[in-house]
Amino acid sequence: MTGRQPDDHEQPAGQEQSAGHRPSDERALTSAQADVDDRAFETSLRPRRLIDFVGQERVREQLELVLESARRRGQPPDHVLLSGPPGLGKTSLALIIAAELGAAIRVTSGPAIERAGDLAAMLSTLSEGDVLFIDEIHRIARPAEELLYVAMEDFRVDVVVGKGHGATAIPLDVAPFTLVGATTRSGLLTGPLRDRFGFVAHMDFYSDVELVRVMTRSAEVLGVPTRPGGTEEIAGRSRGTPRIANRLLRRVRDYAEVRADGVVSREVARSALAVYDVDELGLDRLDRGVLDALIRRFSGGPVGVATIAVAVGEEVQTVEEVAEPFLVRAGLLARTPRGRVATDAAWTHLGLTPPAGRASWPGGTGPTLFDPS
């Protein structure tokens, strides 16, 4: 991994990849993970300054204070940890931090740092005030993480020379720098590493209004004409994630150019997303397949996730890590001690009426530990 600032055609290695299962190609439209096309596309759309960054108002305000205070002191700011689901702009904020400070940025990812020596070599090349961005920092190797502790606190690395009883640790000073770490799974960070970040920000999902602002800017950059209602229709199906919103905008643009007048309107967006199997809630084929199996084959549950996976022809890990998180967040599926249960909202979404007996269950979401078998 080279230690230089990426140009407009490069993206950080392992950009906002989760440690979990990678979605299949057919799910790419509604996956928050970035593929190769997304990385090239996002480069041209990334905001360059904090004032241009849409959404995350509280995080932007806090980060602005941290950066301005550092500029006035003439010192590097505290180390920054950005956490949250993929696709919300953690990498963009890292690049903005460097731009706001007028500093160079070195980019790498946790999985790429396999040995302490890899990290030591990178740290030794930093100049004063540089920004080091480590994406998916929770996946960094443990020996490298322990070396990072000292580097973050004392701006020093201990290089071990030799092996066994003859090994000697040689301390080497590194220039004061700012570490920006990004993680999609903050719970996997060790306590000592988390405690060394002076500023920790959690990024939340976007509202539909914020997503419309994101797509309006993207449409202007890409030269895509829109009509009132077009971006609003896409925003409602984007799962609160800018990356998904921009991806759907590109697909609707393609549809508009081939089968319509080239303008993204509400009607065109609806027709395009119907072709791509993305419904009004943002559910795709796998999501609806899980709900359909749960309701039509197993009367709404409770049923084990392994049984659901067999019913939809997917791996258990795919159902657990790809489909379930959004279904739970959307209030369509509940995880109970006895298995997965479809909520009343799921029945309604499929155009079905929940069984009358469900009214006795708390919230109409299914049985609890205290219900009879």
pLDDT mean values, one per 10 residues, the chain (373 residues):
40 38 54 68 81 91 94 91 92 93 92 87 90 93 89 82 64 89 90 92 93 93 91 93 92 93 93 92 90 89 89 88 88 90 91 70 46 45
Q: Domains of the chain (ranges plus CATH)?
A: 25-202 (3.40.50.300), 208-275 (1.10.8.60), 285-364 (1.10.10.10)
Alpha carbon distance 48, 99 (integer Å): 7
For 92, how many CA atoms within 13 A lie in the half-sphere containing its CB?
Answer: 25
Task: Report the C-alpha gap between 251 and 284 in whole angstroms.
Answer: 15
Residue 196: CA count within 13 A, CB half-sphere: 20
**pLDDT at site 93:** 93
What token pair was written down for 2?
């080279």
Which pLDDT score, from 0 to 100, does residue 197 have?
94
pLDDT at 14: 37
Residue 165 has a pLDDT of 64
Active site residues: 90-91, 135, 184, 243
The model's pTM is 0.80
